[in-house]
Homo-oligomer: A and B are copies of this chain.
């Protein structure tokens, strides 16, 4: 069973906090909005620009990304929790 996101949405899976520390990215404790590490699981059906040409995604399946902690919609598929977010809510790609 899979979920195909619609439009410019992306299905991601948050990386657990302990994995997150091992990965070298640590979210500091401050009043600032804190991003979360996640992995891209599935890309959406895509959107079109003003000329009707498809807009390519800047992320690909398997990318480790930083996303806002707030936003997106949680969904559990076969016991696993995922998040549906718009690509614009992805802040950056973590490069190894």
A residues neighboring B (CB under 8 Å): 1-7, 9, 11, 23-28, 30, 32-35, 44-45, 48-53, 55, 58-59, 65-66, 68, 72-79, 81, 83-84, 87-88, 90-96
Contact = CB atoms under 8 A, between A and B. Distances in A.
Given A50-B50, A84-B92, A7 B73 contact: no
B3 A76 contact: no
Contacts of A27: 74-76
As for how many copies of this chain the complex holds, the number is 7
Contacts of A95: 1-4
30 contacts: A2-B95, A3-B66, A3-B92, A3-B93, A3-B94, A5-B92, A6-B58, A6-B88, A6-B91, A7-B58, A7-B88, A9-B91, A24-B78, A25-B76, A27-B74, A27-B75, A27-B76, A28-B76, A32-B72, A32-B83, A33-B74, A34-B74, A45-B58, A52-B53, A66-B75, A68-B73, A73-B91, A75-B92, A84-B91, A84-B92
